[in-house]
Copies of this chain bind each other. A is one copy, B any other.
């Protein structure tokens, strides 16, 4: 199958929206409702589902529970994913505190920081010295790491993670990280997001309307 990256990202959004709709009491849904909720066209929704072999019934639309199950399966949520976080500053702390991961089968099992004040081996999610990260990753066979350290330290942390066997990195440091072909690095740059927001807002202020933006995020491999 041709794996379309934007498509996968949309799948995540669908799932997200479906959880919300479900919590509102909906049981079934039509492509155009879901399209509205996510901000794409109904055709796109159907096409995405079709591409991944998800089908509904020709007049009844889609069962939300079925959809969620299918999406979870596709997105790999039928197994628990263990994640470690390097850098327990504000963003790292936010992630450690966030309660919304469990239903996604994501479990942050440890944090690492160089600052002894942040360390706390007895916490609900323990925080260890960064020197212990490599061993920890190896021993627990962690495949996903989050980098929330200052930029100057980021590449080194990434290298360590990769060396220890991590295959996916979510990077919040404001720089592009490099790694081998078989590791996915997803960069989220908050400054950049704010800048873009400002740019488009300015465009709106000057021209009236920008229309529907559907711009690029940045899972960039390597």
Contact = CB atoms under 8 A, between A and B. Distances in A.
Given A168-B200, A170-B197, A210-B3, A217 B220 contact: no
A83 B13 contact: no
Interface string A198-214: 11111111001111111
Interface stretch (A53-61, A118-126, A187-195): A187-195
A174 interface: yes
A220 B217 CA distance: 11
B208 A182 contact: yes
A219 B215 contact: yes
A80 to B, nearest CB: 11
A38 to B, nearest CB: 7
A95 interface: yes
A167 B207 CA distance: 12
A215 B5 CA distance: 5
A43 interface: no
Interface of A: 3, 5-6, 8-10, 12-13, 16-17, 20, 37-39, 75-76, 81, 83, 89-91, 93-95, 97-98, 100-101, 104, 106, 143-144, 146, 167-170, 174-176, 181-184, 186, 188-205, 208-222
Q: 5 shortest A-B CB distances, which residue pairs?
A: A217-B217, A168-B201, A90-B94, A5-B215, A184-B200
